[in-house]
Amino acid sequence: GRAFTAYVDHKPLVFAMSKTSEPWSARQQRHLAAVSEFTTDIQHVAGKSNVVADCLSLFVGIDVSAMAADQCGDTDIQTLQTTPTGLKLGESQMQESQPTLI
């Protein structure tokens, strides 16, 4: 494998990887062992400064109308709906005011 540095916003993990004398629980030892299989070079970056982690942790709303429109124009879905197979596609509606999704 290649050596790499993991930048995290979790200070206790950085501390745990650098400290050797602490009597860790069996569960903590397993977690640290699993992480250390990939890297032991872990650096702390404040959450607001860690743009990648911040982006991955944000929930982006789902545009149900756009998804429904995409499904209506999808030829693969149309084929699945018209071809007799063992697959059963059902339609559902998240809320009454929203369009139906497959």
Average of per-residue pLDDT values in the chain: 86
- Of 10, 20, 21, 2, the C-alpha closest to 43 is 10
pLDDT by residue (tens digit) across 45-85?
A: 887 788 887 777 777 788 888 989 999 899 998 898 888 88
State residue 82's pLDDT score: 87
| Residue 1 lies inside a defined structural domain of this protein | no
51 and 71 within one domain: no
pLDDT at 21 over 70: no
| Residue 46 lies inside a defined structural domain of this protein | yes
Beta strands in the chain (DSSP E): 6-8, 42-44, 92-93, 100-101
The residue segments making up the domain with residue 35 are 6-57
pLDDT at 22 over 90: no
| Residue 75 lies inside a defined structural domain of this protein | yes
Number of domains the chain is built from: 2
73 and 47 within one domain: no
